Amino acid sequence: MGIKKVGLNRNVKPQTLTEKLFFLDFMKGLKTTIKHLFRRVVTVDFPYEVTIPAIRFRGVHGLRNVDGTEPPDFDSWIKKLKIKPPEKGETRCIACKFCQAACPVPELFTIKAEKLKVPEDHPHHGLKVLAVFDMDLSKCMFCGLCTQACPTDCIIHTDVYDLSSYTRRSWVLHKEDLSRIADDFIARRGKEKFDDHSKWRKDQKIWPEYDYPRTKIWEGWMPSFLPNYKKSQSNGEAEN
């Protein structure tokens, strides 16, 4: 019984004698290698060399402090959630937990606010301050949804990407660490990322408006590649 060859592409021409003798296929491959030898190197010798990522890079998070560029409804959020009005340099975080609600891995957040222990006649009696804000970045997928949900533009992504460590515990960042990271990032690259009103510059948004398919999904629109969904919508039926 003969051996049956399977899986051969019958359309491929066998090599000619000249190709076999002069290793022409090998030379073609080598040509590509040599071409790349003279191209600009794009890799770096990390950790001895580091790169500066694009400003839209979604790196380690930071918590911004009050600096006079808060969104217009910042005060109304503070009143609504009974938070002590923060001074300049204190965190913008109002412990609303919207970031945690938007996060696909909510357990990575630990956010707690606690009531101030002040006498009853004190103006801050009954108000709260942020007590704990921890993020376990070993569970984070750096999707950016938390930054979209924050009503005070407090939580941001920075360009920091080196999270390597010998312990998992060091991936848990506390509010002081996060504030320091944000301060440092804004001092270095704030102008590239934010406009004068501390809003993301249009060209630097994580989810830009010109990304129409994504925008429509966020608005509850279903893509047209799901014809059954469209049909059931028009019939008023509930269908998967």
Query: Does residue number 142 form part of the binding site for ligand SF4 (CB under 6 A)?
Result: yes
Report the site for ligand SF4 in 23-82 (rule: CB under 6 A).
none
Amino acid present at 109: F
Which one of 32-40, 43-51, 143-151, 225-233 is the stretch in contact with ligand SF4 (CB under 6 A)? Answer: 143-151
Task: Give whichever of 204 and 232 is closer to ligand SF4, judged by the CB atom.
Answer: 204
Q: Is the CB of residue 169 less than 8 Å from the CB of residue 137?
A: no
CA distances from 207 to 53, 58, 106, 143, 199 (A): 17, 11, 21, 10, 14
The least CB distance from residue 192 to ligand SF4, in Å, is: 20
Position of tokens 């039926």?
Answer: 237
Query: Does residue number 186 form part of the binding site for ligand SF4 (CB under 6 A)?
Result: no
Figure out which of the listed residues 55, 66, 129, 143 binds ligand SF4, where binding follows CB under 6 A: 143
136 burial type by CB count under 10 A (0-12 exposed, 13-18 middle, 19+ buried): middle
SS3 99: helix
Task: Give whichever of 15 and 165 is closer to ligand SF4, judged by the CB atom.
Answer: 165
Task: Give whichever of 148 and 232 is closer to ligand SF4, judged by the CB atom.
Answer: 148
Task: Give whichever of 19 and 134 is closer to ligand SF4, judged by the CB atom.
Answer: 134
CA distance 75 to 23: 74
Report the site for ligand SF4 in 79-138 (rule: CB under 6 A).
93-99, 102-105, 108, 111
Task: Give whichever of 108 and 186 is closer to ligand SF4, judged by the CB atom.
Answer: 108
- Give the number of residues in contact with ligand SF4, rule: CB under 6 A: 25
The least CB distance from residue 77 to ligand SF4, in Å, is: 8
CA distance 26 to 75: 69
Contacts 24+ apart (CB under 8 A), 1-10: none
CA distance 150 to 152: 6
Strand duo 109-115 + 172-173: pairing: unpaired
The least CB distance from residue 81 to ligand SF4, in Å, is: 9
Task: Give whichever of 28 and 112 is closer to ligand SF4, judged by the CB atom.
Answer: 112
Residues found near ligand SF4 in the complex (CB under 6 A): 93-99, 102-105, 108, 111, 140-146, 149-150, 152, 154-155
